[in-house]
Every structure is written in C-alpha cells, then in structure tokens.
Amino acid sequence: MRKQILACVLAAFGFGWGASAASGQETVKIGLIVPLTGGQASTGKQLDNAVKLYMRQHGDAVAGKKIEVIVRDDGAIPDNTKRIAQELIVNDKVQIIAGFGITPAALAAAPLATQAKIPQIVMLAGASIVTERSPYIVRTSFTLAQSAVIIGDWAPKNGIRKVATLTSDYAPGNDALQFFKARFTAAGGEIVEEVKVPLMNPDFAPFLQRMKDARPDAMFVFVPGGQGGNFMKQYSERGLDKSGIRIIGPGDVMDDDLLNDMGDAALGTVTAHMYSAAHPSPMNEQFVAGYRKAFNSRPGFVAVGGYDGIHLVYEALKKTGGKTDGDLLVAAMKGMAWESPRGPISIDPETRDVVQNIYIRKVERVNGELYNVEFETFKDVKDAGKSQK
Ligand code: PHB
C-alpha cells in the first residue's frame, strides 16, 4: 500500500516510472528537428530516413540505453525551430537535439542548447558561423567554404575565365560566393554578373535571363539541397543548357536525390562536394543499397549528414558509458574519427566542425542513371571559414 502511494506521488511529480525503467533500461531521447513540409521538405525526409536506416542497422539501444528519436517538422521556419526545440527540451526532456535543415534554423536553436547544456547535432546547415554559436554544437554535414575554395581553384585552371554567380541570399550562399570569388579572382578569373535569389520559393527565370545575357564561360550556382531540381528545370526551359554556359559550384545543386530527374541538361556539370552516391567504397555501396531498399530512392549528401550525425551520438554514448551529460557527450565527440559513406571524416576538436575529403565530380550517365562521378580528391579539408581567422 505504501509502495503504491509512493508510486502515485512520484508519478504525479513527473518522475514517471515508465515501461523503459520497468524493463531496467533507461531511455536517451533525441529531438530530431527537420523540415518535412515546405520547400525544403525533401531534405528533411532524407535526414529522417537516414536516422531510421542507421537505427535499423545498429539497433535502438547503445551503452545500455534505449534510443528514442522524437521527429518534429519545423517547415524550415526558424521561429518554429526555436519553439519546437524549447518544447522538446522542457516538456519531452530530450538530452540531445539534432537535424537542422537550414542555417537560420540551426542558429535559432543554438541559445537553447547552450542554456540547457545539451548537444546540438547539426546534420545539414552549412554556414561557417553555425558551430561558433554554441559550444554544444557539433556538425556532421559540411561548410560551403570547404567546397567553394576547391571549385574556385579548379575553375581558372580549366579554361573558365568569366563567371556569373547565382547564389541563395542567406548565410551559406554568401559564404559560397565569398570563398569562391576570393580564390577565382586571385587566379585571374573575372566575375561578370552577380545575382542573389531569395531562399524561399525562388523563381529563377528572371535571373537566368540575365545570366544568359552576361555570356559567361560558366555560372557558379549555390542553392540549398532540395532546390536543384527546380533550378535545373528552369535552366533547361530557358535554353541555357544549349547556350554553352556550364554550371559549376558546390555540389548542393546536383543532389543525388534529385539528379536523375534533371535529365541530360545536368550532364557534364562539375561541382565540388563531400559526398557522391557513386563514391567507390564498399561502405558506400552498402549504404546506398540499404537506403534504396528501405525508401525506394537514392540517398544524397543530406542523408549522409544525418547518418553520420546519429552515428556520432551512438559512438559518444559508448565513450561516456551511456552517460548523457552534455559536456561529457560533446567532449567525447571532439576528435572522433570514423569511416563514413563519404570517406574518412573526423570532428575537429577545436571547432567541432567536420574535417573531410572534398571531391571534384562530373555528372555522367552510368548504367542508365545520372551520377556525380568523382575524379579528384582533396584530403582532410577543414572549414576555410575558420582556419582563415
Ligand atoms: C543551409 O541552410 O545552411 C544549407 C542548407 C542546405 C544545403 C546547404 C546549406 O545544401
């Protein structure tokens, strides 16, 4: 009787002797905040799929703890991200927040991670500044600076002298532009036109006309993952594919997830990026096959950021022996190195950003499908946005 009363009292105060406690296994809760509606929905889907795939392959328990992922849709609207992060931390008592499909969403949640002292795993957002906004942020995606400097060096060496730029008008687009421009112009390249397009629901047509008139050798393009299909549709509708203006840029515009639907207009496009579905490694072959089997679609770079993000959480929990203290988890993540479907990667202990190979790739048709075929590798690239300081 006294035990029953005690149980009631504890339950009333929210101590909740739930099923997991009864089975002797505590739960680690992860709040996964991703865009599942709106213009960035395809990227949120990739992140969610990748986390699900990893957990199916590795089980939902690690270091004696059961892993529970609570998925919430922020529609890529930062106010939503902030509200959802707050709810997850305060009401659901998550010990980790993860996801973050765009930079403004990652920035909106950063003060909450700092306040709650819990890890914030950034699986997609790519502006350099992101990891500087909270000591609890660890990133498993990339920065735009990482790929923009590589393509900025490559272009002038490959006969590209005049470039028109088209970039999404927000932090990662501005990073891509700044780092590309610095390297390209230092090697004698000329920027003949610079156009910025809105992040949300961009209509590329008027900008594409200006691009055509500027007659550059190539067009440097950054749009976030998810928008490349629409961009390429408008690019071919305006006849730019026939006008001899090549596309170069970070690989976001050629996301493997959407590439097959872009058709021949995409053929020959050269971009720099950290992942290709065609990356030739046994691990990647297994990853692509597993993803295809589970979701009937091809994973892109977004999915890999999610897959590695949840891997990082699993490995950190192993290192802390299942302890979920935020400082311990972040300390465990710093310097961690592993093989990803993209190749070898590690977490820079200084910046908590990802160090990885950047590959130059060209779109080719292989066995009837379009792929970004890697042809040059730059090893262990750090974020130029930080190493510059
Ligand atoms: C971002 O908002 O930081 C972002 C999103 C998607 C990308 C790259 C950057 O492909």
| pLDDT (tens digit per residue) in 228-248 | 999 999 999 999 989 889 999
- Ligand 1, atom nearest to 170 Cα: 2
Strands 246-250 and 270-273: parallel
Q: Where are the beta strands (DSSP E) in the chain?
A: 27-34, 61-62, 65-73, 96-99, 120-122, 137-139, 162-168, 190-197, 218-222, 246-250, 270-273, 337-340, 343-347, 354-366, 369-381
CA 137 – ligand 1 centroid, Å: 16
CA distances from 72 to 9, 46, 55 (A): 31, 14, 17
- Residue 10 pLDDT > 90, yes or no? no
Q: Is the CB of 228 under 6 A from ligand 1?
A: no
Q: Tell me the per-residue pLDDT of 58-107, one tens digit each, with 9 for 90 and over.
A: 999 999 999 999 999 999 999 999 999 999 999 999 999 999 999 999 99
Token pair, residue 135, equals 């000591």
Task: List, for residues 194-225, the tens digit of each pLDDT value.
Answer: 999 999 988 998 889 888 888 999 999 999 99
299: phi then psi, degrees, rounded to nearest 5: -75, 150
For 174-192, what is the mean pLDDT? 98
Distance 237 CA to ligand 1 centre (A): 25
CA quadruple 303, 309, 315, 318: dihedral positive or negative?
A: negative
Name the residue with higher pLDDT: 359 or 213.
359
User: Cβ(138)–Cβ(121) under 8 Å?
Assistant: yes
Give me the chain's average pLDDT, please: 93
Q: Which atom of ligand 1 is nearest to the CA of 255?
A: 10
Binding site membership of 126 for ligand 1 (Cβ less than 6 Å): yes
pLDDT in tens, 307-329: 999 999 999 999 999 999 999 99
Q: What is the pTM of this model?
A: 0.93
125 lines ligand 1 (CB under 6 A): yes
Which residues on neighbouring strands pair with residue 32, listed in sequence order?
Answer: 71, 98
**Residue 265 confidence (pLDDT):** 94
Q: What's the pLDDT tens digit per position in 28-49?
A: 999 999 999 999 999 999 999 9
**Ligand 1 contact via 75 beta carbon (within 6 Å):** no
Q: Which amino acid is at 246?
A: R
Cα-based angle 257, 225, 116 (whole degrees, multiple of 5) = 115
Using DSSP's 3-state secondary structure scheme, residue 7 falls into helix
- Picking from 346, 377, 385, 379, the residue whose alpha carbon sits closest to that of residue 359 is 377
d(CA 68, CA 65): 9
Distance from Cα 270 to the centre of ligand 1, integer Å: 19
Q: Which atom of ligand 1 is the closest one to the Cα of 43? A: 6
Tell me, what's the pLDDT at 224?
98
